[in-house]
Amino acid sequence: MDDLARLSITEASKKLASGEITSLDLVRACKKNIDARNAELNAYLEVFDDIEEQAKEADARRARGESHPLLGIPLAIKDNILIQGRRVSAASKMLENYTASYDATVIKKLKEAGAVFMGRTNLDEFAMGGSTENSAFGPTHNPHDEARVAGGSSGGSASAVAAGMALGALGTDTGGSIREPASFCGIVGLKPTYGAVSRHGLIAMGSSLDQAGPMVRTLEDAQLLFDTIRGRDPFDSTSINLRPTTYDLQPKRIGVPRHLLQKGIDEDVLRSFNASLDTLKAHGAEIVDIELPSAPLALAVYYIIMPAESSTNLARFDGVRYGLSLSGDSLVDDYAKTRAAGFGPEVRRRIMLGTYVLSAGYYDAYYGKATAARAKLREEYDDVLKSVDVIATPTVPSPAFKIGEKSDPLSMYLADIFTVTANLTGHPALSVPITPVMREGKDLPVGIQFTAAHGGEDMLFAAGKMVE
């Protein structure tokens, strides 16, 4: 392969270990692709000016005898994850000039491993959206067709990995924000089990839903990155230690909720999905029909719980302690002016929606019902996952749509129909690229999504490898 930036992390790691290449070679190869395409793709909001120094430091650590598989590997970091001393904006005017005062735990772990941070990648403002069109700093474009979205909210990370501007990336996923852009850009994306990865140092959106995870080119890379960033952290009380992942699993029974695939799915996507089920069968897996009676409600449940938690988390932005600060006629007016100017339209919409569903008189009808439905959904998934190893669906009902195509918020929300469930139930879920579909002469990536029992990431990797 000519372009080193197109290697998988695992391949690059072997070449680094054998001395065939250096971290500096990898970083320069990624930088070349950035220089060629980032102006059009807008994947990175900032490329760090010390990437060569970081690479040289990694090469020096290797010369001193260190050998972590991520040592010297160039990674892209979604711009809602804190790196000490660097800016972190959440793609919002509210935090445009904010500098992180500490490292997120995931960053701390990656620094210990010796990864090189190439830069901060674009996202929907505060991770709210499925297309990265809600960024205050312009949309990210899809490397497979620049007229189309890269997906979101981790669209910058997905676009950067797909375009060879980094070997892998970190994203965050509250309702599909790792898996949907991974599907649209043709890469692998994992939303880990709730609590598997510490959220300390992530800019919070929906705290009962958020997880950080890898966005990479292969299943092996996903497992490597996941194993590096996971684990209990005293700074995140929701974090847990799961059993170590194993490498020798073989999914025997794969459940498909056919009742959810009857309408609203692009025909070509469905054909590609069915073909990958045939591949799974050819590998010896049994495909069985399953019923998830509450699943049709998942999206409605999500669009109650997520805005409720988002509006609560974003209440901290008051212009008093950090971030944008504008003056009005009174204290309340200071808040209202700062928040209206700092937050973009989608963030304002979700704050309003969250405030509504939590307000006296509506709480029981919306938030109370949604919480009950969420518990029921989790029970149904737990039950089904006793009889099958993984559940398979398309990741998204369609390939990447065009920039500006979805102008009303509800039609945008419907793209999340298959991904939100895993966030509501806490199960791990993975998107893996399958046969692309053709649109206007261009191959557009499609993903299959696998969901496993809590702590079943290794079963997901095993299922993914069967279609990879």
Partner 1 sequence: MISKADIEKLAELSRLKLDENEIAGLEKDFSAILEYVGQVSAVTVDGSREAASQLHNVMRDDVAVQNAPGNTRESLLEAFPRREGDYDVVRQIIEK
Candidate ranges 9-17, 69-77, 351-359, 427-435; the one touching partner 1 (CB under 8 A): 351-359
Q: Which of 333, 387, 404, 438 binds partner 1 (CB under 8 A)?
A: 333
- 91 with 125: CB under 8 angstroms? yes
Among residues 56 and 87, whose Cβ is nearest to partner 1? 87
Among residues 241 and 327, whose Cβ is nearest to partner 1? 327
The CA distance from 111 to 251, in Å, is: 34
- 161 with 215: CB under 8 angstroms? yes
- In whole angstroms, how close is the CB of 374 to partner 1 at the nearest point? 10
Number of H helices, E strands in the chain: 15, 13
78 is catalytic: yes
Q: Which of 340, 387, 404, 438 binds partner 1 (CB under 8 A)?
A: 340
- 225 with 168: CB under 8 angstroms? yes
The H-assigned helical ranges of 314-364 are 331-342, 345-357
Q: State the binding string over 372-391 for partner 1 (x if CB under 8 A, else -).
A: xx-xx---------------
Among residues 279 and 371, whose Cβ is nearest to partner 1? 371
The H-assigned helical ranges of 178-247 are 179-185, 219-229
109 is catalytic: no
Residue written as token pair 């501007």 = 165
Task: Determine which one of 8, 13, 31, 78 is catalytic.
Answer: 78
Q: Which of 46, 96, 268, 318 binds partner 1 (CB under 8 A)?
A: 318
431 is catalytic: no
Distances 216 to 87, 245, 361, 387, 444 between C-alpha atoms, Å? 24, 18, 45, 30, 18
Q: Which of 3, 20, 50, 101 binds partner 1 (CB under 8 A)?
A: 101
420 binds partner 1 (CB under 8 A): no
- In whole angstroms, how close is the CB of 52 to partner 1 at the nearest point? 23
339 binds partner 1 (CB under 8 A): yes
57 binds partner 1 (CB under 8 A): no
Residues 6+ apart with CB under 8 A from 262: none
How far, rounded to the nearest angstrom, does the alpha carbon of residue 336 sit from its chain's CA centroid? 31
- What does the radius of gyration of the chain's CA atoms come to, in whole angstroms? 21
- In whole angstroms, how close is the CB of 92 to partner 1 at the nearest point? 14
Q: Which of 51, 216, 285, 301 binds partner 1 (CB under 8 A)?
A: 301
The CA distance from 266 to 280, in Å, is: 21
- 135 with 99: CB under 8 angstroms? no
Candidate ranges 70-78, 113-121, 132-140, 335-343; the one touching partner 1 (CB under 8 A): 335-343
How big is the CA angle at 21 (ends 76 and 103), to the nearest 5 degrees?
Answer: 30
The CA distance from 172 to 170, in Å, is: 7
Structure tokens at 144: 């497979």
- In whole angstroms, how close is the CB of 308 to partner 1 at the nearest point? 11
103 binds partner 1 (CB under 8 A): yes
- In whole angstroms, how close is the CB of 325 to partner 1 at the nearest point? 3
Q: Which of 286, 365, 387, 438 binds partner 1 (CB under 8 A)?
A: 365
How many other C-beta atoms are found inside a 10 Å radius of the C-beta of residue 2? 6
Q: State the binding string over 29-48 for partner 1 (x if CB under 8 A, else -).
A: --------------------
- 4 with 12: CB under 8 angstroms? yes
Residues in the interface with partner 1 (CB under 8 A) total: 60
Residues 6+ apart with CB under 8 A from 368: none
418 binds partner 1 (CB under 8 A): no
Amino acid code (one letter) for 95: L
Catalytic positions, please?
78, 153, 177
Where does this chain bind partner 1 (CB under 8 A)?
84, 98-99, 101-103, 234-235, 237-238, 297, 299-301, 303-304, 311, 318-323, 325, 327-328, 330-337, 339-340, 343, 345, 348-349, 351-353, 355-357, 359, 365-366, 368-370, 372-373, 375-376, 408-410, 413
